Amino acid sequence: MIIEHKLVIADVRLVADFQRYILYWRRRFREQPITDFCSVIRINSTAPLEEQDSYFLLCDVLPEDRVLREELQAQRLKGILEQQQRERNDNNFHGICMFCDEEFLGNRSVLLNHMAREHAFNIGLPDNIVNCGEFLCALQRKLDNLQCLYCERTFRDRNLLKDHMRKKQHRRINPRNREYDQFYVINYLELGKSWEEVQSEDDRELLEQQEEDWSDWEECPVSAVCLFCEKQAETTEQLCAHMEEAHGFDLLRTKAELGLNFYEQVKLVNFIRRQVHQGRCYGCCTRFPSRADLGAHLAEAKHAALLPDRRTWDQPEYYFPTYENDGLLCTLSDSEGDLSAPGQSRGVTVISEDTSQLQALRQSSVLNQLLPRGWEG
């Protein structure tokens, strides 16, 4: 495109789905002149006009291009989170330890926790990893090729490789090998940011917190706000009871009846927040001039419990909060025992996660990257 058509696409590596990106702009360039979308860059500007060359720069400075890139990113993120959810719930995983050849059946976390505990080989928390089977196969291929996973040197035989990795403490992956980025959810969360950039931001925040004196600090309970009014509560149970009594909306029963996992609950809450913020009744699509008018309508028509079709709210755009630091999102649960409607039981066995290292779990959780992002608009 640069040579034949003099078209330059800025930050092309950040485009989540390049094929769909190209197809979109191919259609738009047929509808309107390319100069309506691209900045014109002239080279050899001091030469005579007939000898000057013009290149066209397509970049996200153009609002339409920025929106397209964000939509493609959101769609890719949706696919990644859905794949991660399937892997979290998959109890038919089969894998073999790379260091002792022991076989494991069940959830992927069993194998990953075994390698971390017995062989000091830790590639991260299971819930931060996606396409785990493909990831383990890529690591196994390197070992089969007698290659160290950390320094990536090649050895004559397997015994030398094992001794090297043990003595040099190289039982870890190379963090600068971009081949591994595709297997960590953090690399899909923010457009244009790698895990290193996101982690460095977290590290700076941690250092700033450590420099302050927290000796007299007292923890305040997280306060969650009602979806329909200004009522606040310190627990999910209290808030859900209020919404059921005052507005006729039972979040617990809705979660249980629709079988919502954590991410789907996030999208539903953010959808309702958005509709209420815009003064729109999602039950009948009527708009109201004030929040008070909307509240009166919801109470009279009992439309708070009248959710639209799932395809309306189960969209990638609702992964992002309407209000920054929405306390209700922090209290949602993926556990049937923690969040289920009274009298409802689906007979599902819940396997608790390992919380022996709770502080490390909190700091490295994917939710730390997903939830704080605010929705502007």
Nearest alpha carbon to residue 136 among 117, 151, 146, 121: 121
Can you list the alpha helix ranges (DSSP code H) found in the chain?
2-5, 18-31, 63-89, 108-119, 132-144, 158-167, 195-211, 236-247, 251-258, 262-277, 291-301, 310-313, 327-331, 358-364, 367-370
Quote the DSSP letter at residue 280.
B
- Residue 337: what pLDDT? 45
Nearest alpha carbon to residue 53 among 63, 62, 43, 64: 43
More confident of the two residues 347 and 300: 300
Nearest alpha carbon to residue 339 among 238, 251, 244: 251
What are the domain boundaries of the chain?
7-78, 90-198, 224-331
- Residue 350: what pLDDT? 44
Beta-bridged to residue 39, according to DSSP, are: 57
Q: Tell me the C-alpha distance between 316 and 267, whole Å.
A: 8
Residue 366 scores a pLDDT above 80: no
* % of the chain with per-residue pLDDT over 70: 78
- Residue 209: what pLDDT? 58
Residue 214 scores a pLDDT above 60: no
Nearest alpha carbon to residue 328 among 222, 219, 220: 222
Q: Tell me the C-alpha distance between 192 and 12, whole Å.
A: 10
Residue 121 scores a pLDDT above 60: yes
| Lowest mean pLDDT across 68-72, 81-85, 358-362 | 358-362
Q: How is residue 18 written in tokens?
A: 């390049």
Q: pLDDT, tens digit, for every residue of 285-340?
A: 999 988 888 888 988 888 988 999 998 999 888 888 877 678 888 878 765 444 44
- Residue 374: what pLDDT? 45
